[in-house]
Amino acid sequence: MSTTALPVRAAPLRALAGTDHKRVARNAGAVAFVFFLAGGVLALIMRSQLAADGGVVSQNTYNQLFTMHGSTMIYLFVVPLALAAGLYFVPLQVGAAEVAGPRLALAGLWLLVAGGVSMWSGFLTSGGAASASWWGFDPLSDSIHSPGSGMELWIFGVMMVTAGQILWAGCILLTALRRRAPGMTLMRMPVFTWSMVVTCLLTVFAFPALIVALCLLWAQRHFGGVLTGGLGAVDYQQLFWFYGHPVVYVMFFPFVGMVGEIVATFSGRRFFGYNAFIVALLCFAGLSMTVWAHHMFTMGQATNKYFSLTSTALVVPAGIEYLDLLATLWGGRLRFTTAFLFALGFIVQFLVGGLTGIILASPPLDYGLNMSYFVVAHFHYTIFAGSAFGLFGGIYYWFPKLTGRMLGERLGKAHFWLMVIGTNLTFFPMFILGTDGMTRRIASYPASTGWQTLNVLETVGAGVIALSVLVFLVNVLVSLRSSEHAGDDPWGAQTLEWATSSPPPRHNFHTLPPIRSYAPLLDLRDARERAMP
């Protein structure tokens, strides 16, 4: 009998107050996915506006739309979903019966819900939702330039979800460090678990800076005198980007980890270069705490060359990760499942985002491209064409573990190809428009610019993405209604979460296999094959 479980009997209460990490994570994932759909609707309205060349919404509404789109996707979708995946699978992958700090994990879920509702309720206030962009930069976000309760609700909402994310990171980190099964040494933890460890380190170190920045902003709004003068604006940005760049990697590492697991499983071989990959992840995380002011090159208030140097140095750990992902395919016997296709989509498309990131890390280029659609294209290639593809790969891969049901492969592949077409149609033209001088965060552009054709094309792409997400939702509904059970390990996978039932029991395992490497189930299969010549 666990001492941490609440004595809750009624099912609805258990859904709200149960502390099983799997239930908390599943609920958090579902909440984050609802926010993804909501943020996507905002994107579709913006795309309609840009395709129709104005007239759909006013400039003021458009400002609320892009602010809430960015805020929703980052604070309420990608980061919480990445951490929810860790909350679900890290205890399973290290052979733990329970997450460390289950009540804190539950608190994180409620902070996500409360914060998200707070941010979105701005739309119900007379002044509308926050409209100072997802950065909430002072002085634009102060009480003179952004009066009204929309901004206040945004500040409190972001603080709440961020606090919840720090709690989750603490729980996951402690689970990996203190709750590992016998035999599960640090250097036998699966690639995904390691990716979550570095993610949580970043979260714990960097996210408090955002809460501090928002406290200062709140004090500035109500009392003044905190962020004053031109350098007050710089202070806010230093604090914000000290969070705002590590968060980019919080939205990247977990998906690299997922893709690593998927690639190894569907190549039927051991992950290549495990040690180098882990060291690269740790270096990557350390280095990524030193690059934040590359967002401030055009302010002339940071040491541009230093931040350019550290940002460019990211080439080294990123290059190692790419080598290991590709080399895992080498000598593999491949199975082209939907999960594997999404992983390949991640590898190819994230690369576009990564390479353009190196371009933006050069100040002479950033002076010309910052704040343009080139930047918008760059980070959508990392977060959407990269991380969201990794995420869907993870969903197709782990759905049988979560639910005991397989997602349909036929619908899955339709989802994948539609999403590839939609993504590239939407985001690639933005590189061209950005280099041509199209500024972001503007509701309509003069016809003389000649950008209309590509804008219409992008909007068509956004529609294709929406269609692909609908196909995914249909796939989920069809699968949940099917009665066919997936079994414990439908993929022939390698890590411990596949050594228990689907879904796993309350305390995760009845028995554990011996753990002698980072791929214990592969070891078992190899030993069995050797025993039967």
Partner 1 sequence: MPDTLHAYRHVSGIYFPIAIGVFAAVVLALSSLLVAGARRRERPSGRSGAHRFELFYVLALGAVATFLVVVTFRAETPIDRTVASPGLRIKVTAAQWSWRFEYPGGVSVAAVSTWQPPVAEVPTGVEVEFAGSSRDVIHGFWVPQLHFQRQLLPGYVTRFDLRFDTAGHYGGECSVFCGEQHSQMHFAIEAVSPNAFQAWFSRQRSRLGGTA
Q: Does 319 bind partner 1 (CB under 8 A)?
A: yes
In the complex with partner 1, the residue whose CB is nearer, 118 or 304, is: 304
- Near partner 1 in 436-465, by CB under 8 A: 436-437, 439-445
By C-alpha distance, which of 357, 230, 366 is closest to 297?
366
* b/e per residue 356-377 (b: at least 16 CB within 10 A): bbeebbbbeebeebbebbbbbb
In one letter, which amino acid is 142? D
Q: Does 364 bind partner 1 (CB under 8 A)?
A: yes
CB of 441 to partner 1, least distance (A): 4
Angle in degrees, 0-180, between the axes of helices 338-360 and 304-313, rounded to the nearest 10: 150
Pick the binder of partner 1 from 223, 229, 530, 532 (CB under 8 A).
229
Q: Choose which of 313, 411, 467, 524 interacts with partner 1 (CB under 8 A).
A: 313
**Among 18-26, 99-107, 238-246, 361-369, which window interacts with partner 1 (CB under 8 A)?**
361-369
Kindly state whether residue 351 participates in binding partner 1, applying the rule CB under 8 A: yes
Other CB atoms closer than 10 Å to residue 528's CB: what's the count? Answer: 9
Please choose, from the candidates 353, 168, 355, 388, the residue with its C-alpha nearest in 3D space to the C-alpha of residue 258: 388
**Residues whose CB falls within 8 Å of the CB of residue 501, separated by 6 or more in sequence, listed in order:** 404, 488
Q: Which long-range contacts (CB under 8 A, 24 or more apart) does 208-211 make?
A: 208/166, 209/239, 209/240, 209/242, 209/243, 210/158, 210/162, 210/239, 210/240, 210/243, 210/244, 211/159, 211/162, 211/163
In the chain, the amino acid numbered 238 is Q
Q: Specify the stretch interacting with partner 1 by CB under 8 A; choose among 36-44, 148-156, 227-235, 395-403.
A: 227-235
- At residue 347, the 3 state secondary structure works out as helix
User: In this complex, which beta carbon is closest to partner 1, that of residue 125 or of residue 301?
Assistant: 301
312 binding partner 1? (CB under 8 A): yes
**How distant, in Å, are the alpha carbons of 167, 261, 328, 339 from that of 333?**
40, 15, 10, 15
Kindly state the DSSP code that residue 126 receives in the 8-state scheme.
T
Q: Which CB atom, from 187 or from 470, has the smaller least distance to partner 1?
A: 187
204 near partner 1, judged by CB under 8 A: no
Q: Is 359 in the site for partner 1 (CB under 8 A)?
A: yes
| Spatial separation of the C-alpha atoms in residues 381 and 257, rounded to whole Å | 18
Pick from 6, 309, 432, 524: which binds partner 1 (CB under 8 A)? 309
CA 489 vs. chain centroid, Å, equals 26
By CB under 8 A, what part of segment 20-59 binds partner 1? 59
Complex with partner 1: residue 267 or 508, whichever CB lies closer: 267
* Smallest gap from residue 443 Cβ to partner 1 (A): 6
Q: Binding residue for partner 1 (CB under 8 A) from 5, 174, 211, 315?
A: 315
* Residue with tokens 């913006």, as numbered in its chain: 46
CB nearer to partner 1: give 278 or 471: 278
Question: Is 448 or 511 the residue whose CB approaches partner 1 more closely?
Answer: 448
Residue 467 in contact with partner 1, rule: CB under 8 A: no
Q: Verify binding: residue 362, partner 1, rule CB under 8 A.
A: yes
> Of 30, 117, 316, 473, which lies in the binding site for partner 1, with binding defined by CB under 8 A?
316
Residues between 67 and 96 that touch partner 1 (CB under 8 A)? none
Q: How far is the CB of 460 from partner 1 (least distance, A)?
A: 24
The 3-state DSSP class for residue 372 equals strand
CB nearer to partner 1: pick between 182 and 446? 446
CA pair distance 133, 146, nearest whole angstrom: 11
Of the pair 85, 339, the CB lying nearest partner 1 is at: 339
Q: Shortest approach of partner 1 to residue 252 CB, angstroms?
A: 17
Q: Is 332 in the site for partner 1 (CB under 8 A)?
A: yes
Task: Give me the sign of the Cα torsion angle 237, 58, 463, 392.
Answer: positive
State residue 519 phi and psi, 5-degree precision. Answer: -135, 65
Which long-range contacts link 495-500 to residues 24+ away (Cβ below 8 Å)?
495/93, 495/190, 495/192, 495/261, 495/519, 495/520, 495/521, 496/92, 496/93, 496/94, 496/95, 496/181, 496/184, 496/190, 496/520, 496/521, 497/89, 497/92, 497/93, 497/398, 497/401, 498/401, 500/92
Which 118-177 residues touch partner 1, going by CB under 8 A?
131, 133, 137, 139-140, 144-145
The SS3 call for residue 439 is strand
Residues between 263 and 292 with contacts to partner 1, criterion CB under 8 A: 267-276
Q: Which residues pair with 372 in a beta bridge?
A: 439
Residues in the chain: 533
* Piece of the chain touching partner 1 by CB under 8 A; list 33-41, 207-215, 308-316, 418-426: 308-316
CB 476 within 8 A of CB 407: yes
Query: Could you say which of 19, 162, 193, 356 contacts partner 1 (CB under 8 A)?
Result: 356
Q: How far is the CB of 181 from partner 1 (least distance, A)?
A: 22
Number of residues that bind partner 1 (CB under 8 A): 81
Nearer to partner 1, 2 or 275 (CB): 275
Residues 234-253 that bind partner 1 (CB under 8 A): 234
Residue 185 contacts partner 1 per CB under 8 A: no
Q: Which residue has the tokens 């479980």?
A: 5
Q: Which of residues 472-531 bind partner 1 (CB under 8 A)?
A: 526
Distance, CA of 84 to CA of 182 (rounded, Å)? 25
Q: Among 85, 158, 198, 352, which residue interacts with partner 1 (rule: CB under 8 A)?
A: 352
Q: CB 269 → partner 1: shortest distance, Å?
A: 4
In the complex, what is the shortest distance from the CB of residue 272 to partner 1, in angstroms, rounded to a whole number?
6
User: Mask: binding to partner 1, 52-71, rule CB under 8 A, as x and -?
Assistant: -------xx--x--------
